[in-house]
Amino acid sequence: MSTPDPIGVGIDALGVYLPRYVLPLERLAAARDVPAEKITVGLGAHAMAVTPPWEDTVTLAVNAAAPLFARGEVRRDEIGLLVLGTETAVDHAKPASIFVHELLGLPASCRTFEVKHACYGGTAGVLLAADWVRSPASRGRKALVLASDIARYELGSSAEFTQGAGAAAMVVSAAPRLLRLDPATGVHASSVWDFWRPLDRREALVDGKFSLDCYLDALTGALADWRTARNGDGAGPLLERFAAFLYHTPFPKMAHKAHARLVAGEDGDADARAHAFERSYAERVDPWLALARQSGNTYTASLWLALAWMAEQHASALEERDVALFSYGSGSCAEFFTGRFPTGSAAAAGAIGARALLAGRREVDVAEYEALLRDGPRGGTPPAGYGGVCHLAEVRDHKRVYRSEAWAA
């Protein structure tokens, strides 16, 4: 398909994490006097992850990454770069990444920082890390990129149903076992007010309809730039080129809209495009939305949770096949890029554990959810077997105190 990356940089290992609690959206719809099908069909969402008091952006990230070290998929002394993409940081100055650096026990020689660009931050981190691995600055080391977020909106608002929480951790290296990333990407950036969160607010503000339009326009622009970046190798039907399509998913129905826009730009008459869209969406997009349906919007992590689900469930059928990925961050910046599952990637995907995350959660009712949302992360002691190795113990004099077993992992 493309010019090979001389050192085959990409994702070597992938970890994911969801909070312990989950709210079925049919319960929330009933409490808000909203028809359930407006949510389950109109948005395509079935449940949202809800954070307990002892979880925040930092703990989600640590709990996604810690199993990678515990399983021996990467050593701490191999990590030379740590990047955390988030739009729900825990401090305006001290980056969430430095908390993670300490809690995971990474070396002092590891460069670390936080990236913010709405939902695009995780992708920015991955692609920046790939360029770092390709450069002499890496000195043969690997990068750890984290995408961690808690989506929050006002209780009773129209956006309330698109809340969620989760994290993904990606080890980026040369000769990756899971997904090789093509260095040619397409970018589209434009300053828009579709979604924002002022410094004095915990809940985000969104112009919903406008944001959908911005997302789709950014997809068109990024795809056009990708074709330019391919230097003539970007022509031809995309549906014949890619075995799967992954989209940033603020809610699952958005992936449907995005794929429709992509197919609308293909050659052929309207009837042929409509047939191609329905078939390709059912086979190459919809199967990878299971985590998004059950976790809600995870902002920077949503694209990578989709990759986790696809890899865990289907990597054996995708080896040596190409996939397309699209990331959008409000404000805005978007990127269209591609990757290939190398031979043996199914073995690397087998330990991700995405399905087990869904099975280990506890349902909450609407009253409990509302109390948790109002209080936010304030610290506490999790119950035994809650699923993570790190938690927020307390916030003392505006300083966050964490407890972690990740060092021992």
Say if residue 195 is exposed, middle or buried (CB neighbours under 10 Å; 0-12, 13-18, 19+).
buried
Out of 87, 114, 160, 312, the active site residue is 87
Of 175, 142, 122, residue with least CA distance to 4: 175
Catalytic residue among 110, 119, 214, 390, which? Answer: 119
| Whether the Cβ atoms of residue 7 and residue 134 lie closer than 8 Å to each other | yes
Active site residue 259: no
CB-CB contact of 362 with 155 (8 Å) = no
Catalytic residue among 46, 248, 259, 391: 248
Which of 123, 36, 48, 35 has its CA nearest to residue 83? 123
Residue 399 CB: number of other CB atoms within 10 A?
A: 9
Known catalytic residue at 117: no
Cα gap 286→309, rounded to integer Å: 11
CB atoms within 10 A of CB 384: 5
- Assess whether 248 carries a catalytic annotation: yes
* 58 in Cβ contact with 391 (< 8 Å): no
User: What does the block give as tokens for 247?
Assistant: 């989209």
Provide the residue count of the chain: 409
Residue 12 phi, psi (nearest 5): -90, -35
User: Other CB atoms closer than 10 Å to residue 135's CB: what's the count?
Assistant: 9
3, amino acid identity: T
Q: What positions carry a catalytic annotation?
A: 87, 119, 248
